[in-house]
Structure 1
């Protein structure tokens, strides 16, 4: 998803277009990685010095409900990123230091369990954690 698609999704679902919401979407688009609510607050403070965690969390929840962003948990903290532009089934490699992701085009689940008997799979999430090339030298 890109900035225009995200803002269009908000408008299409009857939500106000605000500067804070636009800036949050732009931060996700610029960062191209998972960010925490704390990270988002830091990015937003320059333009919105009085912004609160409540505002950040409320908008993260809204964006998540509208599938503008995706979330996962890393080291006990919920982190967020702009939803992928592709609807094609894929998974991610996630750097545990910087939050960057890399798309994994194959589905490891097929190799792990295949098609189970007596159970219909309706969805799954598979993430692999490690270090990106940039962070590997720091680890």
Structure 2
């Protein structure tokens, strides 16, 4: 996902282009790492002194619901990143210190599915958490 595609999705769903939304998308577009609302607020408060958590979380919730951002929880805090553009199905390793992400080509669902006889799996998300080589 990039900010051009994100704006297409937002406009198609009736959302107007605002400076704050534009800046949020620029921040996500500039990194592959997961970011927290606190990290976003620290940067945006310098440019928009009246910026609040409510404004950030409202926009993040919109972006997640429209499939623009991925969301995960690390150490009890929600983290966000631009949704992958990968055409191939994959999962992620996420560094709990710096938020770095590494794609995993392996999917454990085949093994897990063997233990769920009679259950219908509609979707899944698999993430591994730890420390990247730079943070280790």
In the alignment, which residue of structure 2 is the partner of 1:45? 45
In the alignment, which residue of structure 2 is the partner of 1:70? 70
TM-score by length of structure 2 reads: 0.93
In the alignment, which residue of structure 1 is the partner of 2:2? 2
Conservation of the 8 A alpha-carbon contact between 1:27 and 1:43: no
CA separation of 1:87 and 1:114: change in aligned 2, threshold 3 A: farther
| Aligned mates of 2:85, 2:11 — CA distance in 1 | 18
In the alignment, which residue of structure 2 is the partner of 1:28? 28
TM-score by length of structure 1 reads: 0.91
Q: Cα RMSD between the aligned structures?
A: 1.4
| Aligned mates of 2:72, 2:35 — CA distance in 1 | 10
Cα deviation for residue 31 of structure 1 reads: 2.5
Conservation of the 8 A alpha-carbon contact between 1:92 and 1:103: yes
In the alignment, which residue of structure 1 is the partner of 2:60? 60
Q: Secondary structure at 1:70's aligned position in 2?
A: strand
Q: Secondary structure at 1:134's aligned position in 2?
A: coil
Q: Could you give the per-residue CA deviations for residues 9-58 of structure 1, whole angstroms, max 9, x where no partner exists?
A: 11111101111001101101112211111111012122212111110011
Structure 2 stretches lacking a partner, 5+ long: none
Structure 1 stretches lacking a partner, 5+ long: none
CA separation of 1:89 and 1:114: change in aligned 2, threshold 3 A: farther
